[in-house]
């Protein structure tokens, strides 16, 4: 049976034959349907990629923050304070016999080695260097005094006296001519009060103090004629091993520590993810539980929406991939 044809006249007066099929130059209906349906699919893929990228960046940021927090917690719990300093206020007895101009006792001071009256300044097992810094006037009395002794006695509330150390010291010798030149050179500073004629002496009392932490120390200068402007007790931690590296190379130690923590957390997260995916949690995918009639109804519904499309389902647990192949119209 021959198909009916309709002759139509265009604007130019020429006729064109139209049949029930599309013209030879027009695109097939399947391709037009694919062009219309490709835009939503592209936007969906872009949105999925953006969400995946945001999830990856958020996970990396969380891992980096956790690694830094772990390293910081370890550093501040493992590293003691490197230096402590406390002022020393000497006192002596003044209830001497009438007519006595000399002090009745040696200058003595009691220094607390507790932070805020509760926490120990020195950590257990850590080696410390303890020194006493004395500011003494460059006076004839101190020069005539010569050598004198300084004693430090550490004690705790539970054990009483823990350790004691005694060391000697003296002012540095300077000739009369040198003192005269120094006085003339620094005369403006002496007159204005910016500087003063004094010497700073540092006495090393303990070089490797590693005893149990103490609560206080008794400092005593074994001379009743010594003259002192001010004094200060300094405690320095002598780090060794890992603490030496953490203190003297903080940047390199931080990079190594944070990188190690980040690698460990990443491996832990990867192992947990692989166990979750391939470990067999005992649950099956909802797609696998679909009955055959349900799959047939779903395929028929898709074919009803696009009669020109041939639908093929490939079920690959745990995801469902739908491959649509369009058949060109002839």
Q: What is the DSSP string of 24-50?
A: TTSPPHHHHHHHHHHHHHHHHHHHHHH
Cα–Cα distance list, 250 to 71, 72, 190, 296 (Å): 12, 11, 43, 67
Averaged over 151-178, what is the pLDDT? 86
Segments of the chain assigned E as strands: 6-9, 15-18, 83-88, 108-112, 114-115, 119-120, 128-137, 148-156, 160-169, 198-209, 216-221, 230-237, 309-316, 319-326
Q: What is the mean pLDDT of the chain?
A: 76
Q: What is the pLDDT of residue 304?
A: 47
Return the DSSP state at 91. B
Residue 100: band (very low, low, confident or very high) from pLDDT cuts 50, 70, 90 = low
| C-alpha R_g of the chain | 45
pLDDT value at position 125?
81
Whether residue 2 is predicted with pLDDT greater than 50 in this model: the reply is no
Q: Does residue 247 carry a pLDDT above 50?
A: yes
pLDDT at residue number 243? 92
Q: Given this model, what pLDDT does residue 28 score?
A: 53
Place of tokens 């739908």: 322
Strands across the sheet containing 128-137? 83-88, 230-237, 128-137, 198-209
Summarised one tens digit per residue, pLDDT across range 259-294 is 999 999 999 988 988 888 887 544 444 444 444 444
According to the model, what pLDDT value does residue 48 have? 86
Q: How far apart are CA 65 and CA 74, in angstroms?
A: 14
Q: What length is written for the chain?
A: 330
Predicted local distance difference test score (pLDDT) of residue 9: 42
Q: How confident is the model at residue 191 (pLDDT cuts 50, 70, 90)?
A: confident
Helices 29-78 + 250-278 axis angle, to 10: 130
Tokens matching residue 174: 């300077």
Q: Find out whether 311 and 294 touch, Cβ atoms under 8 Å.
A: no
Neighbouring C-beta atoms of residue 306, cutoff 10 Å = 16
Q: Which fold is adopted by the domain 83-238?
A: Jelly Rolls (2.60.120)
Question: Whole-structure pTM over 0.85, yes or no?
Answer: no
Could you state, in order of their start, the residue ranges of all structural domains in the chain?
A: 28-78+251-282, 83-238, 283-330
CA–CA distance, 183 with 175 (Å, rounded to integer)? 12
Residue 118: count of CB within 10 angstroms of its CB: 6
Q: How many CB atoms lie within 10 A of CB 221?
A: 22
274 SS3 class:
helix
């Amino acid at each position: 049976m021959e198909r009916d044809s309709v002759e139509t006249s265009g604007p130019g007066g020429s006729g064109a034959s139209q049949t029930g099929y599309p013209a030879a130059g027009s695109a097939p209906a399947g391709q037009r349907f694919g062009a219309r349906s490709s835009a939503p699919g592209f936007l969906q893929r872009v949105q999925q990629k953006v969400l995946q990228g945001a999830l990856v960046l958020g996970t990396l940021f969380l891992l980096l923050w956790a690694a830094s927090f772990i390293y910081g917690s370890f550093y501040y719990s493992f590293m003691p304070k490197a230096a402590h300093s406390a002022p020393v206020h000497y006192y002596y007895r003044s209830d001497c016999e009438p007519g006595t101009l000399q002090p009745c006792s040696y200058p003595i001071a009691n220094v607390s080695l507790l932070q805020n009256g509760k926490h120990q300044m020195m950590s257990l097992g850590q080696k410390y260097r303890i020194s006493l810094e004395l500011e003494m006037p460059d006076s004839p009395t101190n020069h005539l005094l010569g050598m004198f002794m300084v004693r430090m006695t550490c004690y705790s509330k539970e054990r009483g006296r823990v350790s004691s150390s005694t060391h000697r010291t003296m002012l540095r010798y300077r000739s009369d001519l040198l003192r005269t030149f120094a006085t003339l050179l620094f005369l403006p500073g002496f007159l204005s009060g910016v500087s003063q004629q004094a010497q700073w002496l540092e006495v090393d009392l303990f070089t490797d103090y590693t005893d149990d932490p103490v609560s206080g120390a008794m400092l005593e200068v074994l001379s009743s004629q010594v003259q002192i402007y001010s004094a200060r007790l300094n405690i320095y931690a002598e780090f060794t091993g890992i603490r030496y590296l953490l203190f003297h190379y903080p940047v390199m130690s931080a990079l190594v520590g944070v990188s190690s923590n980040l690698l460990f957390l990443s491996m832990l997260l990867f192992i947990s993810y692989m166990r979750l995916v391939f470990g067999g949690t005992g649950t099956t995918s909802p797609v696998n539980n679909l009955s055959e009639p349900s799959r047939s109804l779903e395929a028929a519904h898709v074919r009803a929406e696009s009669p020109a499309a041939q639908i093929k389902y490939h079920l690959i647990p745990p995801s469902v991939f739908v491959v649509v192949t369009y058949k060109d119209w002839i």
